[in-house]
Amino acid sequence: MGEVDPAFIQDPQHRPKFSTIQPEDIPVIDLSPITNHTLSDSSSIENLVKEIGSACKEWGFFQVTNHGVPLTLRQNIEIASRLFFAQSLEEKRKVSKSENNTLGYHDTEHTKNIRDWKEVFDFLARDPTFIPLTSDEHDDRLTQLTNQSPEYPPNFRVIIQEYIQEMEKLCFKLLELIALSLGIEANRFEEFFIKNQTSSIRLNHYPPCPYPGLALGVGRHKDPGALTILAQDEVGGLEVKRKADQEWIGVKPTLDAYIINVGDIIQVWSNDAYESVEHRVVVNSEKERFSIPFFFYPAHETEVKPLEELINEQNPSKYRPYKWGKFITHRKNTNFKNQNVENIQIYHYKLA
């Protein structure tokens, strides 16, 4: 996964500082009241909405059980992920990302970045997906992103597409619950995703790392989209910064559950009622780890701003609007080029 940069080893400010707090359960929420029913049919909806609202407010993270995603689909994509990453580097790099196509395979050898110890494969929910060509607000040109598919394992594309369909269903259910917890119409967020959504899925592989005190699987960050749904294996490694005391808390894997986190867009839509929370992934010196996050992103033309229903004289808008497509294009370009500058964040749109 790359050579260790001596300057990095000598610079302690970049080394991950590990928490001594033992892993604990973030809120675990049972979705069975809505798994096979519409929201209006569920007699338990009020308690479920309260649980979701409390988890979003206090943690920004929660796990869901009885979510309705068929176990066979999850098993299929997990097997496909392991088979793909088990190939030789030469085979995997046949579907590598490039500056012109940010979909496909990527590993830290491309950037010599020892700090992120992982390899990934990115795939779009909609193929093709259109996003702005540049982050320039005056440039209306769009660029087309298309998926790459490896020759192995067989049926790779079909397996991912079937899984994505289930992730989208779950996201819409969760957004309905979040909307109700904010006191707005259940389908309030639907309009932003029905057409031209820019969602994507990522297969992650974290090999055993001989330098666990020097590297992270993924450095501290917040997710820029609306929701992230994470399937992780039994190894674990995800850490969440607890809002109550800013401590890093390990998230204990729960069998067949999904980890949900609120992204920056929900933070802006809710006018800071709910907060996108920092998280990271620590590496393991002995075991490899696999995870599969699904990133639920709206259409590129979406103007992200606090919802009108949630702002008033006592609670004025805390953000100026921004275009999602321009925002994510800036992020993708900066990420690929690995520039030594701060990436664009939602606090850059915060009003005084």
- pLDDT per residue over 192-201, tens digit each? 999 999 999 9
| Residue 12: pLDDT over 50 | no
Percent of residues, the chain, with pLDDT higher than 90:
75
In degrees to the nearest 10, what's the CA dihedral of 82, 83, 87, 92?
-80
Structure confidence at residue 219 (pLDDT): 87
pTM over 0.75: yes
In-domain check, residue 278? yes
**Tokens at 327, concatenated:** 């925002």
Rounded to whole angstroms, the Cα distance separating 227 from 199 reads 10
β-bridge pairing 28-30 and 61-65: parallel
In-domain check, residue 328? yes
| Residue 11: pLDDT over 70 | no
pLDDT digits (tens, 9 = 90+) for 153-193: 999 999 999 999 999 999 999 999 999 999 999 999 999 99
- 179's CB contacts (< 8 A; 6+ apart) are 185, 186, 187, 188, 189
CA distances from 282 to 15, 118, 191, 253, 254 (A): 11, 11, 36, 14, 18
- 312's CB contacts (< 8 A; 6+ apart) are none
Peptide bond between residue 153 and the one before it cis (omega within 30 degrees of 0): yes
pLDDT digits (tens, 9 = 90+) for 213-253: 777 888 899 999 999 999 999 998 999 999 989 999 999 98
**Tokens at 279, concatenated:** 């998280």
Length of the chain counted residue by residue:
352
Band (335; pLDDT cuts 50, 70, 90)? low
Q: Which residue segment(s) compose the domain that 285 sits in?
A: 15-349
- 10's CB contacts (< 8 A; 6+ apart) are none
In-domain check, residue 38? yes
In-domain check, residue 122? yes
In-domain check, residue 107? yes
- 209's CB contacts (< 8 A; 6+ apart) are 1, 117, 215, 217, 283, 284, 285
In-domain check, residue 6? no
| Residue 340: pLDDT over 60 | no
Q: How many domains is the chain partitioned into structurally?
A: 1
Structure confidence at residue 352 (pLDDT): 80
Structure confidence at residue 6 (pLDDT): 36
Element (H, E) at 248: strand 248-250
What are φ and ψ of residue 24, in 5° steps?
-140, 170
Q: Return the CATH number at 134.
A: 2.60.120.330
* Of 255-259, 286-290, 299-303, 332-336, minimum mean pLDDT range: 332-336
Q: Helix/strand/coil (H, E, C) string of 201-240?
A: EEEEEECCCCCCCCCECEEEECCCCCEEEEEECCCCCEEE
DSSP at 116? B
